[in-house]
Amino acid sequence: MSKIKTKFACQECGYEVPRWLGKCPGCSSWNSFVEEIEDKRTGKGVRPISSRDNKAVPIGQVKSGQEPRMSAGMAELNRVLGGGIVPGSLILVGGDPGIGKSTILLQMSHFLANDQHKVLYISGEESTKQTKLRADRLGADSDDLFVFAETDLERIELEIDQLQPRVVVIDSIQTVYHPSVTSAPGSVSQVRECASHFMRIAKSKEIAIMIVGHVTKQGDLAGPRLLEHMVDSVLYFEGERHNTYRILRSVKNRFGSTHEIGIFEMMEKGLVEVANPSELFLSERSKAAGSAVVASMEGTRPVLVELQALITPTSFPSPRRMATGVDYNRVSLIMAVLEKRIGMLLQNQDAYVNVAGGIRLDEPAIDLAIAVSIASSFRDHSTLPDDIIIGEIGLTGEVRGVSRIEQRVKEAAKLGFKRAIIPNKNVTGWDHPQGVTIIPVQTVEEALREALGG
């Protein structure tokens, strides 16, 4: 009897080695190798999508046109998907446990079924009765919505062939297994093989497949990184479990803009979309010192959020620096500019910077608002409640131009802001909205003078 051979696969990138290693040579992750049984059988793998008759053609002869889309039933979800669900697409939805992944997909399935689209909801974590209980709470009851509790990939594929649905939901990819792969469900080999089969089904049958993916403790999608490269779209659910608001963010989309966000509120009967997120984030705005409002671009949508800073003297040799919702290194850089170019003595001050509302901002256009909020708290001088502050900061203290300034200022005008402190480079080339005074600045010192009066 032959000895069973094993291998070790990295759970982050799929790198395989014959023995256990502490650090992965492929992605430099620590303690990520898991033992798996090595499968030497041939014939296993992904069947090709195209036939042998398929030939290369000049790109000029390829027919172009807009992809037909199916409405997901929610304007916010359609926005994140780029306008709707494209037939034949493979979409990955990730998020923390209990954040609302299954809820929103079941709501979407209910709407599609009511719109005469046959939907197959495959649950690998719950029985059909458990899924029915959630469906009753959400009011999802349609004859075109089919529920199937199964984890065997071959049986799932057989059910798809018999039912011929337009949309398939897999909840979740970590519970599905291929019988010919000897490793346990959720392992790198199983996730890679199952995702490849679902991709082939989606492309060959023109069926939109939405896959739920678990996340790690660090917030990344579990399984090999290859999973995110294979799918057409990757959607992340963000938010705290004790908070009612959820943010659905698109980090990859082959059929639309990336970094689009949709705002939802978790209610008793499911997720309800929030039409005006800027008004939501500013609803509890503080007028105390250390607060500043910035217009940030999330995909194609401008969103107004409040930046808060708290500067307090420290009793320790090394002052504490904390940043929530913004890049910590960027905050340290801005504080260094304030010390060197403005003369603020922040070396003996603890600094805490926060984005109100739980959203995360990554673009450099929020630099000037961070600097103003820090200076406002340090000087204990409040900013004007009708000011919007936009701009990127350079290391020499200059304020650099930003993109899509017209959309940002127009969104601020809709919410009643009267003044916009923007980079001098962005003043010309667009129509200024009525009722908003444009204040151009070239340096951080000028911006602080205009925002804080000195």
At residue 4, the pLDDT reads: 66
Contact present, 93 and 213 (Cβ < 8 Å): yes
CA distance 308 to 354: 5
Cα separation, 20 vs 414, in Å, equals 59
For 318, the token pair is: 């090394």
Distance CA 177, CA 151 (A): 6
Residue 439 falls in which region: left (phi positive, over 0), alpha (psi -120 to 50) or beta? beta
Give the pLDDT confidence score for residue 398 in this predicted structure. Answer: 96
Q: What is the pLDDT of residues 11-51, one digit of tens each?
A: 777 788 889 999 988 888 888 888 777 655 544 444 444 44
Say if residues 422 and 331 touch (Cβ distance below 8 Å). Answer: no
Return d(Cα 261, Cα 151) in angstroms, integer.
Answer: 31
Query: Which residues 6+ apart lie within 8 Å of 24 measured at CB?
Result: 10, 12, 13, 15, 30, 32, 33
- Extract the annotated binding site for ATP: 95-102
pTM: 0.78
pLDDT given at position 45: 46
Q: So what's the pLDDT on residue 48?
A: 46
In tens digits, what is the pLDDT along the chain, a chain of 454 residues? Answer: 456 678 888 877 778 888 999 998 888 888 888 877 765 554 444 444 444 556 888 988 887 767 789 999 999 999 999 889 999 999 999 988 888 899 999 999 999 999 999 999 999 989 999 999 999 999 888 899 999 999 999 999 999 999 999 999 999 898 999 988 877 788 788 888 899 999 999 999 999 999 998 876 666 666 666 788 889 999 998 876 667 788 898 989 998 888 788 989 888 888 999 888 888 888 888 889 999 999 999 888 899 999 999 999 998 888 999 999 999 999 999 999 999 999 999 999 999 999 988 788 989 999 999 999 999 999 999 999 999 999 999 999 999 999 999 999 999 999 999 999 999 999 999 999 999 999 999 999 999 999 998 5
Residue 56 half-sphere exposure toward CB, CA atoms < 13 A: 1
Q: Is 161 left (phi over 0), alpha (psi -120 to 50) or beta?
A: alpha
Does residue 259 come out as left (phi exceeding 0), alpha (psi in the -120 to 50 range) or beta?
left
Residue 148's pLDDT is 95
Q: Which amino acid is at 399?
A: V
Which residue has tokens 């502490």? 22
Q: Give the Cα separation of 443 and 424 in Å (integer).
A: 9
227 phi, psi to nearest 5 deg = -60, -40
